């Protein structure tokens, strides 16, 4: 079938990617995580995954160029030197910026700079290195697709039209990631490589489970704006439902259709919710 490399498979969307893709006979899935021992233990205790021999877990911190370089070399040994899909899923959800606008965040300049640097390091710089280091394997693959898991919060029109003033730094870093992905598309489209950014929709993976009542009240304001954008919106989806939708988008997209470098939702358009 196909060979997949997916970053950040230890939990959330990444673990669901791992579960669903490895469940299809013939697929090979290489998962990249910071904590290999904990992830391997989790898989060994998962009744559904523990017997699957097509799962390979590699240890790498995506912010370490040397770690990613080693992961690429180890992947080549596992797969024979080629891969079909590279999924840049690893990410950071800030606990500093979800609830306040940029003027309030600016009252803590040191914390703002530190958090923005972390987000840029993980969402932007790490993916530049990831794409570059795994490109030789992608070019030898059959499918040649590179997918960045993004966010509708990175959409400029959505932000401007609905005054979305929260999750500032996260949005900035994801928007930059989209541009990086588009720039790689501009370089490698001629080689048949599809680069695509996809928003999985709003998915509940527990990031805000420890929010205070005050924080939830602030978050409620952005939910009201989401409802203006998408009156049909009923709340966060599950990873189980989101992943098939995301995969459908990347399967239907192609360089030939003009999708190279695009930023799409899990519905294949700009409907983020």
Q: Kindly give, in sequence order, each residue whose CB lies less than 8 Å from that of residue 63, ignoring residues fewer than 6 positions away.
A: 121, 122, 125, 126
* Residue 213 predicted with pLDDT over 80: no
Domain 3-265, CATH: 3.40.50.720
* Residue 139 predicted with pLDDT over 90: yes
pLDDT at residue number 128: 98
Annotation marks residue 4 as catalytic = no
Question: Which of 110-114, 189-193, 218-222 has the least mean pLDDT?
Answer: 218-222
- Total residue count of the chain as it appears in this document: 273
* Separation of CA 249 from chain center: 14
In the Cβ-directed half-sphere of 60, how many Cα atoms lie within 13 Å? 31
Q: Say which residue the tokens 């695009």 belong to.
A: 262
% of the chain exceeding 90 in pLDDT: 86
CA-CA distance, 236 to 242, in Å (whole number)? 10
Assign 204 a pLDDT band (cuts: 50, 70, 90): confident
Helices (H), the chain: 12-22, 36-44, 65-79, 102-105, 109-120, 126-139, 156-162, 168-188, 213-229, 239-252
CA-CA distance, 41 to 20, in Å (whole number)? 18
Tally Cβ neighbours within 10 Å of residue 258.
10
Query: What are the residue ranges spanned by the domains of the chain?
Result: 3-265
pLDDT at residue number 268: 97
* Residue 208 predicted with pLDDT over 80: no
Annotation marks residue 140 as catalytic = no
pTM, 2 dp:
0.95
Annotated active-site residue in 85, 99, 131, 170:
170
pLDDT at residue number 209: 64
pLDDT at residue number 182: 98
Nearest to 88 by CA among 9, 173, 206, 186: 9
Q: If you average pLDDT over every residue of the chain, what do you get?
A: 95
Three-class SS state of 149: strand
Q: Is the dihedral of CA 145, 123, 77, 4 positive or negative?
A: negative
Annotated active-site residue in 42, 144, 145, 174:
174
In the Cβ-directed half-sphere of 181, how many Cα atoms lie within 13 Å? 28
Q: Tokens for 162, please give them.
A: 């609905």
* Residue 101 predicted with pLDDT over 80: yes
Assign 207 a pLDDT band (cuts: 50, 70, 90): low
């Amino acid at each position: 079938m196909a060979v997949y490399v997916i970053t950040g498979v230890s939990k959330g969307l990444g673990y669901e990617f791992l579960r669903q893709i490895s469940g299809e006979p013939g697929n090979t899935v290489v998962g990249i995580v910071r904590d290999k021992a904990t992830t391997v233990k989790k898989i060994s205790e998962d009744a559904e995954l523990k017997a699957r021999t097509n799962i390979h877990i590699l240890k790498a911190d995506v912010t370490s160029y040397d770690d990613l370089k080693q992961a690429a070399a180890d992947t080549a040994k596992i797969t024979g030197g080629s891969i079909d899909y590279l999924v840049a899923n690893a990410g950071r959800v800030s606990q500093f910026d979800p609830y306040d606008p940029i003027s309030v965040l600016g009252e803590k300049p040191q914390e703002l700079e530190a958090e923005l640097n972390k987000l840029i390091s993980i969402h932007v710089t790490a993916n530049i290195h990831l794409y570059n280091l795994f490109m030789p394997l992608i070019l030898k693959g059959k499918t040649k697709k590179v997918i960045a898991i993004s966010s509708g919060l990175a959409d400029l029109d959505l932000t401007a039209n609905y005054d979305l003033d929260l999750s500032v730094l996260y949005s900035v870093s994801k928007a930059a990631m989209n541009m990086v992905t588009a720039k790689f598309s501009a370089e490698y489209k001629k080689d048949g490589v599809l680069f695509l950014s996809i928003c999985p929709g709003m998915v509940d993976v527990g990031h805000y489970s420890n929010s205070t009542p005050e924080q939830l009240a602030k978050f409620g304001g952005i939910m009201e704006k989401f409802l203006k954008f998408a009156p049909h919106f009923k709340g966060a989806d599950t990873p189980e439902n989101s992943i098939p939708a995301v995969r459908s988008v990347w399967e239907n997209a192609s360089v030939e259709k003009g999708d190279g470098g695009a930023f799409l939702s899990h519905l294949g358009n700009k409907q983020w919710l």
